[in-house]
Amino acid sequence: RPTILRTRKRILVTGGCGYIGSHTLVSLLDPSTTSGTNVEYSIVVVDNLVNSSSESLRRACDVTGLGGGDFVVDGDDDYGTDDAGGRLIFRKVDCADPSGMRAVFDEFVPLGGFDAAIHFAGLKAVGESKTMPLRYYRVNIVATLTLLDLMEEYGCRTLVFSSSATVYGVSTRDRLNENDEVGTTITNCYGRTKHMIEQILRDFHASHEVASSSSGVGGEAASSSSSSSADVRDPWSVVILRYFNPAGAHPSGKMGEDPSGVPNNLMPYVAQVAVGRRPHVTVFGNDYDTPDGTGIRDYLHVMDLAEGHVAALAYASDEGCGSRVGGTAGKGKSGMGKISTFNLGTGTGYSVLDMVNAFGRAVGRPIPVVVGPRRPGDVTIYMADPTRAKEDMGWEAKRDLDDMCRDLWNPPFDCIVAFVAVYNQFLLNL
Ligand code: NAD
Ligand code: WQD
C-alpha cells in the first residue's frame, strides 16, 4: 500500500487545561478524528491554571493513548519538548502577560512556529463578572490583544476563538442564527467581553483586507513587525464559535468538569446533587411559557463541541473538514482568509426538568428538586440554529441529552458514590 505522508501542524491552545480546552485536545490528538486526512496535530498548551490543573492534560493523553515519558505531568510545571517527539507540550503562562507569551512564541520559532491558535483562555463566570468587571475586561480582552499582537508578529494567522451564545443577549427568538442582532441586550460583563472581542476580531480582520487590497499583493501593509517571520501575503483566517450550553464529559469517565464551590451551571449542579454533595436542585422558576414551565436550553455534548473545533481548524486552514469530523455535508467549504461566525449547538431544546429527569435515568434514581424563584437575567428559551456550521464546516452534533448525562455520570461520579456507600457502611460498623 502506498504510504500517506501526514503533515504535522503545531497548534497553540490557550486555556487548554480547562473544561472545553482539555476535551478539545482529545479530539485534536485522537487519530480517529483526523483519520482519512493528511494532517496530524501537535499541541502547545498555555494556561495560567487560574481555573484548572495540568492534571487534565495527563488525562487527555491517557484517554488518547498517548501516555508515556514525554507526557508525564509533574505537578503544575511546564513539561514536554518538541524534539523528544512530544505531541503535547505545556507552558504555564498568563496569556495577558506579553513577555511570557513572547517567550512561548520565541521558543517555537526554530521548530517552524505555530500554524494556528485556538483561544479558550479567559474568565467565564457570569455572576462573578458582575462583581469584578475590571478583572473580566482586563483578563479576557488583554489576553486576546496580546495573542493577536504576537500571532501577527510571528506570522501565525489562523485563529479559532471561543465566543458564547450569550452575545445574543436577552433574545425573544426561538432559534438564534448568526445574523441575529448581538450586543445590545447583553446583561453581564462576561458577555460583553465576548462581544467586544468579536468586534476586535472583525476590525482586526478588516484592517488586513484593507491593507491587502491597497497593496495589491495581498497585504504588504499588514505586516507590523520588522522581526516578523510571516509571509506578508498570508491571509488572516478567523473562526468565531458561539457555544450554546456545553455539558457532559468524555465517555471514558476520566475527564470532565468538577468545579470547586457552587457550580454556576445546571448540569454540574445536578451531578453534585446526585453524589449527595448537595441536597436538591433548585429549579429557577417553573412559570415560564414552556411545556413544563421551566427554562429551555440547547445543551451540547462537550465532545461534539470539541469536534467542532477540529472542524473549525480544518475550515480555517482550507483542509476540507466535512468528510472527517462526523459531518454529513461532504467536503466543507473554505474559510481561509475570511472571518466566519458559527453557532455550535444541537438545535434541540431541553427544559430544566428534562435535564434533571435524564440525569435521574443515568443514575438510576430520581434527583430531588425544589422549585424556587426565577434567576434574574434568565431567558425562557435559548436555542441555536446550527445550520451554518453544518453547511459550511460539515459539523453537526451527534450526541443527545442522555449521552451527556451518561458520560458525566460514568466514573468518577460512579466511584464517588461507591466510595461514600462503603464509607457509610464502615461508620455504621464502628
Ligand atoms: P475553563 O475555566 O474550564 O477554561 C478556561 C481556561 O483558561 C482555564 O484552564 C484557565 O485556567 C485558563 N485561563 C484563564 N485565564 C487565563 C489567562 N489569563 N492566561 C492563561 N490561561 C487562562 O472554561 P471552559 O468552560 O473550558 O471555557 C473555555 C472558553 O469557552 C472560555 O473562553 C469561555 O468563556 C468559553 N465558553 C464557555 C462556555 C461554558 O459554558 N463552559 C460557554 C460559552 C463559551
Ligand atoms: C441553564 C438553565 C437556569 C442552575 C450560562 C451562561 C452562558 C454560557 C453557558 C458561557 C437555566 C436553570 C440552572 C440551577 C436551574 N456560559 N438552572 N437551577 O444560564 O443558560 O448559560 O452558561 O459563555 O453565558 O449564562 O446556563 O446552566 O446556568 O442554566 O434551574 O441550579 O438551568 O435557570 O434555565 P445558562 P445554566
Dump pLDDT digits (tens) for 96-126: 999 999 999 999 999 899 999 999 999 999 9
Residues 70-93 have a mean pLDDT of: 63
pLDDT in tens, 287-340: 999 999 999 999 999 999 999 999 999 999 877 544 444 443 445 588 999 999
Can you tell me which residue has the cell 468538569?
257
From CA 397, how far away is CA 50, in angstroms rounded? 30
Q: Which residues pair with 90 in a beta bridge?
A: 45, 79
- Ligand whose nearest atom lies closest to the CA of 20: 1
Lowest mean pLDDT among 141-150, 219-228, 296-305: 219-228
- pLDDT band at 416, cuts 50/70/90? low
- pLDDT band at 61, cuts 50/70/90? confident
190 catalytically annotated: yes
Q: Quote the percentage of the chain above a pLDDT of 70.
A: 80
- Ligand whose nearest atom lies closest to the CA of 120: 1
Query: Which of 20, 123, 297 is the pocket-test mutation for ligand 2 (most atoms within 8 Å of CB)?
Result: 297
User: Which region, left, alpha or beta, applies to residue 336 given φ > 0 means left and ψ of -120 to 50 means alpha?
Assistant: beta
For atom 34 of ligand 2, the residue with the nearest CA is 295
Q: Which residues pair with 369 in a beta bridge?
A: 281
Q: Give residue 328's identity as a one-letter amino acid code.
A: T
Distance 86 CA to ligand 2 centre (A): 38
From CA 376, how far away is CA 207, in angstroms rounded? 39
ipTM value greater than 0.90? yes
- pLDDT band at 20, cuts 50/70/90? very high
Residues 191-219 have a mean pLDDT of: 81
pLDDT in tens, 243-286: 999 999 999 988 888 777 788 899 999 999 998 999 999 999 99
> From the alpha carbon of 245, which atom of ligand 1 is closest?
40
Q: Is 280 in the pocket of ligand 2 (CB under 6 A)?
A: no
Distances from the Cα of 91 to the Cα of 58, 81, 113, 387, 400, angstroms: 14, 10, 15, 37, 35
Q: Which residue has the higher pLDDT, 79 or 314?
A: 314
- Ligand whose nearest atom lies closest to the CA of 17: 1
Task: Give yes or no for a contact between 270 and 191, defined as CB atoms under 8 angstroms apart.
Answer: no
Distance 339 CA to ligand 2 centre (A): 29
Q: Give residue 93's identity as a one-letter amino acid code.
A: V
Ligand 1: which residues within 6 Å by Cβ? 14-15, 17-21, 47-52, 94-96, 120-124, 139, 143, 162, 164, 243, 246, 265
The reported pLDDT for the residue numbered 219 is 36
Q: Quote the percentage of the chain above a pLDDT of 90.
A: 63
Which value, in Å, is the radius of gyration of the alpha carbons in the chain?
22
Catalytic residue among 41, 190, 288, 382: 190
Report the alpha-carbon angle 138-198-264, nearest 5.
Answer: 60
Distances from the Cα of 173 to the Cα of 128, 241, 243, angstroms: 27, 19, 17
Asked whether residue 71 carries a pLDDT value surpassing 90, the answer given is no
> From the alpha carbon of 283, which atom of ligand 2 is closest?
30
Q: Is 124 in the pocket of ligand 2 (CB under 6 A)?
A: yes
From the CB of residue 108, how many other CB atoms can be counted at a distance below 10 Å?
Answer: 18
Distance 121 CA to ligand 1 centre (A): 5
Q: Is 129 in the pocket of ligand 2 (CB under 6 A)?
A: no
3-state secondary structure the chain: CCCCCCEEEEEEEECCCCHHHHHHHHHHHCCCCCCCCCEEEEEEEEECCCCCCCHHHHHHHHHHCCCCHHHCCCCCCCECCHHHCCCEEEEECCCCCHHHHHHHHHHHCCCCCCCEEEECCCCCCHHHHHHCHHHHHHHHHHHHHHHHHHHHHHCCCEEEEEEEHHHHCCCCCCEECCCCCCCCCCCCHHHHHHHHHHHHHHHHHHHHHHHHHHHCCCCHHHCCCCCCCCCCCCCCEEEEEEECEEECCCCCCCCCCCCCCCCCCHHHHHHHHHCCCCCCEEEECCCCCCCCCCCEECEEEHHHHHHHHHHHHHHHCCCCCCCCCCCCCCCCCCCCCCEEEEEECCCCCEEHHHHHHHHHHHHCCCCCEEEECCCCCCCCEEEECCHHHHHHHCCCCCCCHHHHHHHHHHHHHHHHHHHHHHHHHHHHHC
Asked whether residue 225 carries a pLDDT value surpassing 60, the answer given is no
> From the alpha carbon of 95, which atom of ligand 1 is closest?
19
Distances from the Cα of 197 to the Cα of 200, 255, 305, angstroms: 5, 29, 20
